[in-house]
């Protein structure tokens, strides 16, 4: 069983995280879900989904998930994924607010999202951060560079159009597919460039 973590934070683009979560929750994989307070607000506003960050109902995001998705309170520092001894294969923060990105860059570990991300960095595990905000200030770019040097992958929510996208969902799947590629998870979520 491969264990992954997905965190949804307060940046616009909650649909990216929901699409990623649903694609990642497959056979042979378990996903640990964390939703920040801001992430819960964005999920409600953009997707019409009501999630309690202190006790996320995974069935709301992934109907029929069973035990393949485990929800964690954003405030639970005792969660399994807060420890380097837990065999997490990788983590994606999708979407990743620039505030969360800055706190991860600073190593604050102030909640389960930033702590689990910090664990991925210290244990040299895959950490994929998906910022959506634009434009970017120099502080944001410096934080991204700092995280890249620390081993994180910065994967902006910038969909490609070469796959013949005809719907917004096609563009969303493109971004989620790139995150799955970075996590080493096989998928057929979006077409690949054939040359």
How much of the chain is in helix, strand and coil states, percent to nearest 5?
Answer: 40, 15, 45
Token pair 């983590």 is at which residue?
Answer: 91
What pLDDT was estimated at residue 146?
Answer: 98
Residue 85 in any domain: the answer is yes
Establish if 194 belongs to a structural domain: no
193 has pLDDT over 90: no
Number of domains in the chain: 1
**Choice between 60 and 1, residue whose per-residue pLDDT is larger:** 60
Contact 144, 119 (CB under 8 A): no
Residue 141 has pLDDT above 90, yes or no: yes
**Domain CATH code at residue 11:** 3.40.50.1950
Tell whether 48 is covered by a domain: yes
| Domain range for 56 | 2-183
Length of the chain (residues): 195
Does pLDDT of 16 surpass 90?
Answer: yes
Is residue 41 assigned to a domain?
yes
- Is the residue at 25 inside a domain? yes
In a domain, 193, yes or no: no
At 66 the pLDDT is: 85
pLDDT at 1: 80
Task: Look at residue 165 in the predicted model and tell me its pLDDT.
Answer: 87
Tell me if 195 is assigned to some domain: no
Separation CA 42–CA 10 (nearest Å): 6
If we measure between CA atoms, which residue out of 90, 122, 96, 98 comes closest to residue 109?
A: 122
pLDDT digits (tens, 9 = 90+) for 143-189: 999 999 999 999 999 998 888 889 999 999 999 999 999 999 999 99
Is the pLDDT at 106 greater than 90, yes or no?
Answer: yes
Is 36 part of any domain? yes
């Amino acid at each position: 069983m491969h264990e992954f973590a997905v965190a949804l934070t307060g940046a616009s683009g909650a649909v990216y995280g929901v699409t990623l979560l649903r694609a990642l929750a497959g056979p042979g994989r378990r996903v640990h879900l964390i939703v920040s307070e801001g992430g819960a607000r964005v999920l409600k506003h953009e997707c019409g989904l009501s999630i309690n960050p202190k006790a996320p109902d995974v069935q709301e995001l992934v109907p029929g998930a069973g035990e393949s998705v485990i929800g964690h309170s954003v405030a639970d520092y005792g969660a399994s994924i807060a420890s380097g001894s837990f065999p997490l294969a990788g983590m994606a923060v999708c979407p990743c607010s620039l505030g969360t990105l800055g706190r991860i860059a600073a190593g604050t570990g102030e909640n389960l999202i930033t702590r689990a991300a910090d664990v991925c960095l210290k244990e040299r595990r895959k950490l994929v951060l998906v910022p959506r905000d634009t434009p970017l200030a120099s502080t944001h770019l410096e934080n991204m560079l700092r995280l890249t040097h620390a081993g994180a992958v910065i994967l902006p929510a910038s969909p490609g159009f070469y796959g013949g996208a005809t719907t917004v969902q096609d563009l969303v799947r493109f971004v989620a597919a790139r995150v799955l590629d970075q996590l080493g998870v096989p998928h057929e979520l979006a077409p690949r460039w054939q040359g």
